Amino acid sequence: MTESSSRVSEYIQEVSHLVWGPTIRPELFARWSQGFIFSEEEKTALIQTSGGPCAVIAPVQAVLLKNLISKYQYSQIREVDCATVDQTLAATMTELLCQCKKPSTASPHTGNKPSSPPPPNPAPDNSPVLRDQGPFQLACLEDPLPPTPPNCNTPDPDQPTPQTSSAKDYTLFHSSVRLRQFDSGHSLQSHLESHLHRYKSQYGVLLFLYSVILTKSVSAVREEMGDIGESLIEVTQGHGGQGLINLLITGRASPYVWDGTKDVGGLSLVGVVGRPVVGFLTRLEHLRYVQVGWYLKNPTNPVWVMGSETHLSVVFSWCERLVTPENEVERAKQVFGWYDTEGNRFIQADHLKPILATLDLCTDDDYVQFMLSELDPDRMGVILYHRFVEAFSNSDQSYSPPDTFLLYHYNGLESSCPQNKIQYAEGRVTLQESHVGFTSSQCDVLSCLGTKWPNIDIQWSSFTPSLN
Whether the CB-CB separation of 331 and 308 falls below 8 Å is answered with: no
Residue spans of beta strands (DSSP E) within 172-214: 177-182
Residues paired with 429 in a beta bridge = 405, 458
Question: Alpha-carbon distance 322 to 81, whole Å?
Answer: 30
Helix H, strand E, coil C: the string for 25-68 is CHHHHHHHCCCCEECCCCCCCEEECCCCCHHHHHHHHHHHHHHH
Question: Alpha-carbon distance 18 to 24, whole Å?
Answer: 11
Helix (H, G, I), strand (E, B) or coil at 269: strand
Question: Alpha-carbon distance 285 to 147, whole Å?
Answer: 38
Q: Output phi, psi for 190, to 5 deg.
A: -60, -40
Instruction: Let me know if 100 is a catalytic residue.
Output: no
**Of the candidates 396, 101, 353, the residue with the CA atom closest to the CA atom of residue 252:** 101
DSSP run (H or E) holding 384: strand 382-384
| 89 φψ region: left (φ > 0), alpha (ψ -120 to 50), beta (else) | alpha
Residues 6+ apart with CB under 8 A from 302: 69, 316, 317, 318, 319, 322
Burial readout 224-241 (b: 16 or more C-beta within 10 A, e: otherwise): bbbeeebbbbbeeebbbb
Distances (CA, A) of 214 to 60, 153, 219: 17, 33, 10
What does DSSP say about strands 425-431 and 46-47: parallel, antiparallel, or unpaired? unpaired
Q: Output phi, psi for 40, to 5 deg.
A: -75, -30
Helix (H, G, I), strand (E, B) or coil at 457: strand
- Of 174, 239, 311, 409, which one is the catalytic site residue? 311
Question: Alpha-carbon distance 210 to 140, whole Å?
Answer: 9
Cα 215 to the center of its chain, rounded Å: 18
Distances (CA, A) of 434 to 42, 204, 278, 437, 458: 36, 46, 28, 10, 14
Question: Alpha-carbon distance 443 to 468, whole Å?
Answer: 12
Instruction: Let me know if 362 is a catalytic residue.
Output: no
Catalytic center residues: 54, 311
